[in-house]
């Protein structure tokens, strides 16, 4: 820890600047600045920032501290991780500037946490794609065909990549094309990796931290293309701290669930490590809605083992592939809530036995 010069980090990261970069609008009044607090539902600007003492205090919820405390709290990080984030991922004893130039030709590495600049790039990309979706009738028609309407498009900030708007935009905003490439937004030749795809971002507040793209037909491989960053849970903020949580498999299953206002998240596949389920700690009831196939049933058995008798399994009707498939049926929504009601009244023991595929 002594490797970090904390005072220097605070000086290099003016608190008002960092808080603004998290998307909070601060307005000056005298020597202080005020904005809406991100740590409680703030209708008034209760968050006061004191640039002179490099500190903040919320008159609504009492949150307070310095720039490191702010980053820790906002991103849910430990002290050291917050320092690293502010230090922009550079090793603590290396200087700024020159070091980055020297690294330019090295192979892209995958940082474990995103720097503020990374988040700005991803958020810019998501904003550009979101804008483009509304101008692309084919992409809107594709979503409509899968039962994803305007409300979900807005709520989930869905987008579309036309293949040429992003690099121009990043250049105009002087954001790093190199980082955009390393994170998997651009190809080496500057082309856009999500070209021709509907894009589903994963948001933290107003910021994008990840995205996955799906082409408008099935001719392209892979069907789902993510970034070159660790794949997160999709919909984390919809389920965090909730008592009733729905867990599903794929991106469009998730979107269908959002359309039904469920507190739902998608594992984006079936392989999941136990530690990634920590967000379910507080959930009293976990509904599993997995694909109606062998892999989906195996995932259900595995997750039931991890999560215990809080689990209720929602079994899709015969012939229905997955939740998104159900959502496209005229009575899909009604059927789903009937299945939830039935699952709720089941006894956990029987359910586990039921979920194990017969061999």
Which one, 56 or 287, has the nearer CB to Zn ion?
56
Tell whether residue 205 is a contact of Zn ion (CB under 5 A).
Answer: no
Which one, 37 or 299, has the nearer CB to Zn ion?
37
Of the residues 39, 134, 279, 302, which one makes contact with Zn ion according to CB under 5 A: 39
- Specify the residue for token string 């483009």: 132
Tell whether residue 306 is a contact of Zn ion (CB under 5 A).
Answer: no
Phi, psi of 337 (to 5 degrees): -70, -25
Cα–Cα distance between 172 and 187 in angstroms, integer? 19
**DSSP per residue over 228-283, as a string?**
SS----BTHHHHTT-SEEEEESSHHHHHHHHHTT--EEE-SSS---GGGGGGGTT-
**Window of 38-46, 236-244, 288-296, 314-322 that interacts with Zn ion by CB under 5 A:** 38-46
Question: What are the distances in angstroms from CA 231 to CA 54, 116, 222?
Answer: 35, 18, 15
Of the residues 19, 58, 203, 289, which one makes contact with Zn ion according to CB under 5 A: 58
Which one, 43 or 275, has the nearer CB to Zn ion?
43
Which one, 56 or 254, has the nearer CB to Zn ion?
56
Q: Are 121 and 182 in contact (CB under 8 A)?
A: no
Tell whether residue 37 is a contact of Zn ion (CB under 5 A).
Answer: yes
Q: Are 180 and 173 in contact (CB under 8 A)?
A: no
Cα–Cα distance between 343 and 320 in angstroms, integer? 17
Quote the least distance from Cβ 69 to Zn ion, whole Å. Answer: 13
**Window of 34-42, 101-109, 164-172, 288-296 that interacts with Zn ion by CB under 5 A:** 34-42
Residues that bind Zn ion (CB under 5 A): 37, 39-40, 58, 60-61, 63
């Amino acid at each position: 820890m002594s490797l970090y010069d904390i005072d220097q980090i605070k000086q290099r990261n003016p608190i008002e600047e960092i808080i603004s970069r998290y998307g909070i609008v601060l307005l000056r009044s005298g020597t202080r600045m005020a904005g809406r607090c991100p740590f409680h539902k703030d209708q008034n600007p209760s968050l006061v920032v004191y640039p002179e003492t490099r500190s903040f205090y919320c008159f609504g919820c009492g949150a307070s501290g310095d720039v490191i405390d702010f980053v820790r709290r906002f991103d849910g990080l430990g002290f050291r991780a917050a320092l690293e984030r502010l230090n922009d991922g550079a090793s603590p004893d290396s200087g700024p500037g020159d070091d980055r130039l020297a690294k330019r030709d090295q192979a892209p590495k995958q940082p474990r946490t995103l720097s503020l600049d990374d988040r700005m790039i991803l958020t810019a990309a998501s904003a550009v794609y979101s804008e483009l979706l509304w101008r692309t009738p084919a992409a809107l028609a594709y979503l409509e065909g899968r039962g994803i309407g305007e409300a979900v498009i807005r709520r989930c900030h869905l987008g579309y990549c036309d293949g040429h708007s992003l690099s121009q935009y990043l250049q105009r905003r002087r954001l790093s094309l190199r980082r955009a490439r390393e994170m998997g937004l651009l190809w080496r030749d500057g082309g856009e990796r999500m070209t021709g795809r509907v894009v589903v971002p994963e948001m933290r507040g107003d910021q994008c931290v990840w995205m996955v793209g799906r082409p408008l037909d099935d001719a392209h491989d892979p069907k789902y293309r993510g970034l070159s960053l660790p794949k997160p849970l999709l919909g984390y903020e919809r389920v965090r701290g909730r008592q009733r949580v729905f867990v599903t498999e794929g991106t469009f299953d998730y979107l269908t669930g959002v359309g039904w206002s469920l507190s739902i998240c998608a594992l984006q596949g079936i392989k999941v490590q136990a530690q990634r389920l920590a967000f379910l700690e507080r959930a009293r009831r976990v509904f599993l809605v997995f694909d109606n196939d062998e892999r989906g049933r195996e995932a259900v058995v595995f997750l039931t083992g991890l999560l215990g008798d809080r689990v209720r399994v929602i079994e899709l009707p015969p012939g229905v592939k997955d939740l998104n498939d159900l959502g496209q049926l005229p009575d899909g929504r009604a059927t789903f809530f009937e299945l939830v009601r039935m699952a709720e009244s089941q006894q956990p023991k029987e359910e586990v036995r039921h979920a194990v595929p017969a061999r």
